[in-house]
Structure formats: structure tokens, C-alpha cells
Amino acid sequence: MAQLELFSHPGPGVRYRAGLCSTAALGLLLLWALTYLPPLLVAYRSQGLWLKQSTYMEQPTVQFQYEVLLVAMTGADPGSFLAWSTFPAFNHLQEDQLRVPLISTREEDKNHDGKMDQLHFKLELPLQSTEQVLAVQLILTFSYQLHRMSTFVMQSMAFIQSSSPIPGSQLYVNGDLKLHQRQSLSHCGVDIRYNVSVINGTSPFASDYDLTNIIAAYQDRNVTTVLSDSNPVWLVGRAADAPFVINATIRYPVEVILYPLAVV
């Protein structure tokens, strides 16, 4: 009778062995989780499983502002240069170095979508028979706008420079006005923090027209445009009575815009 009762009702020893197995399984599961899950989480996070930023593509609305600042070096001496700009205050500071060029421009909407796709810019700098050009620095300014996500408006620039030990007759440039972001743009709202002139054209001070100061202030922005892949070509062999010519084609490409994901 005692044996039948023991068989019908398992004793505490049997129940103890079942509990021991459950505890061991839970411990193994916990050990596996601590061993494998943290590296997986780190890997997924580093590969962008939890994205904080994303991108979209947009054709910007770009317009040439008809603002120009030109400096052409004619020798090695500090005073050996010619200069001109669309800013009367700057021109007033140049005195004998002022030389007025002939400029022609044309913006083109190649795909007829209502947005300009490129700028054709030509500058002819008249020179005396004894003058020669060894280097040029040129700033052109633009209005740059995005509208697909947030409304982003800024004044930006293209900086062109080239030099050669051999006097030049022409400089040919063909490049893209590319957006450069140090931070993402907002996914909504209006952003006009950089909708200010690149050059303070009303200032009477020479320091405000110094190229190093202009570029330094511009580079302090978190969002700019840069002229990329310009591949400048310096041509030589200028006739004595011919001007120095700058021919530039600047395209406005479709951009990949970085923006933050909305926090839910």
C-alpha cells in the first residue's frame, strides 16, 4: 500500500527536480541574453536601426543675384592688381586699381520645369598692352531656396580662383553649385537664418571686402554652397589688345537633403 501511494503521489524529491530544471533553463536564457543581445543592439544601432536622420532629394530654386566681386593679380607686388565689383563702396576704395569689365549672363531652364538649371557667365576684363593677368579671384552670389520639406532660404556664393606663372588669356570653369550641410535642415517650418548678404555691399570699410574675411564669415555657416568639380582651364596666348576673359558655366543640380526625423 505504501508503494502504491508513493507511485500515485510523487514525493517532494520529484517536485524538487522539476523546479531545478526550470531555474536552470531561466538562467541559461538570461546568460544568452546578456551574452548576445548587447552586441546585437550596438551593431543594429550603429547600422542605423534607430535612425535620427534621413534624406530626400530636391531640385533647389537658384537665382543669380547679379553681385560680382573680382580681383585680378597682374604682378607679384602687393599693389599689382585690378579690381571691380557691383558694389559702389568697394569700387570707390580701389582708386587706380579699378577696371570696369564687360559682363554677360544667361540662366537656362533646360528641362522647362520652371526652375533654372545653370548659369552661363562671361566676364571680359580690358587690359593695357603692357598688362598681364597671373591670377584671378571671383565671387558670384546666389539666392538658394528649398521648399519640399521646410522652406529654407539663404544667400550663397560661388568662389572661383585660379593662377599660373604664365600670363593668361582666358579662364574656363564648368562646375556644380553644390549644397554643403554641417547640420541637417528642419523637416518643417521656415528657416531664413542665412538669408543675409554674403558681402556687406554698403560698408565703407575695406576689411568688409577682404576676400579672407568674406570667406571666413561664410564658412562659419552650417549650410553653404560650394562650387565643386569646376576643373578650371587656364588658357594662354593673349593678343596685346585683347581682354582677359572668364567663361563660367555653373549648374544647379538636384540635391540630397539631410533632415532630422520627427520625434514621435
Q: What local confidence, expressed as pLDDT, does residue 223 receive? A: 96
Q: What local confidence, expressed as pLDDT, does residue 41 receive? A: 56
One domain for residues 81 and 139: yes
Mean pLDDT to the nearest integer, 163-176: 96
Could you give the angle at the alpha carbon of 176 between the alpha carbons of 223 and 87, nearest 5°?
70
DSSP state of 231: -
One domain for residues 106 and 197: yes
Host H or E run for residue 28: helix 12-46
Distance from C-alpha of 120 to C-alpha of 41, rounded to nearest angstrom: 52
Q: What local confidence, expressed as pLDDT, does residue 150 receive? A: 85
pLDDT at position 126 over 70:
yes
Q: What local confidence, expressed as pLDDT, does residue 50 receive? A: 53
More confident position, 175 or 240: 175
One domain for residues 33 and 145: no
One domain for residues 40 and 74: no
pLDDT at position 181 over 60:
yes
One domain for residues 231 and 169: yes
Q: What local confidence, expressed as pLDDT, does residue 230 receive? A: 83
User: Contact, 260 vs 135, CB < 8 A?
Assistant: no
pLDDT digits (tens, 9 = 90+) for 52-90: 778 889 999 999 999 999 999 999 888 899 999 999 999
Strands 223-228 and 53-58, how do they pair? unpaired
Could you give the angle at the alpha carbon of 177 between the alpha carbons of 192 and 107, nearest 5°?
95
Residue 104 domain boundaries: 55-260
Nearest CA-CA partner of 71 in 254, 261, 246: 246
Other C-beta atoms lying within 10 Å of the C-beta of residue 74 = 21
pTM of the model as a whole: 0.79
One domain for residues 139 and 199: yes
One domain for residues 85 and 137: yes
User: If you search the block for the grid coordinates 543669380, which residue do you land on?
Assistant: 64
One domain for residues 113 and 26: no
One domain for residues 93 and 121: yes
Percentage of the chain beyond pLDDT 90 is 68
Q: What local confidence, expressed as pLDDT, does residue 26 receive? A: 74
User: If you search the block for the grid coordinates 546568460, which residue do you land on?
Assistant: 31
Percentage of the chain beyond pLDDT 70 is 81
Could you give the angle at the alpha carbon of 226 between the alpha carbons of 259 and 117, nearest 5°?
85
One domain for residues 62 and 175: yes
The mean pLDDT value of the chain amounts to: 87
One domain for residues 197 and 148: yes
Provide the b/e sequence for 143-157 (b: ≥16 CB within 10 Å).
Answer: ebbbeeebebbbbbb
Q: Who's near 111: CB < 8 A, 6+ residues apart?
A: 117
One domain for residues 112 and 93: yes
Count of domains for the chain: 2
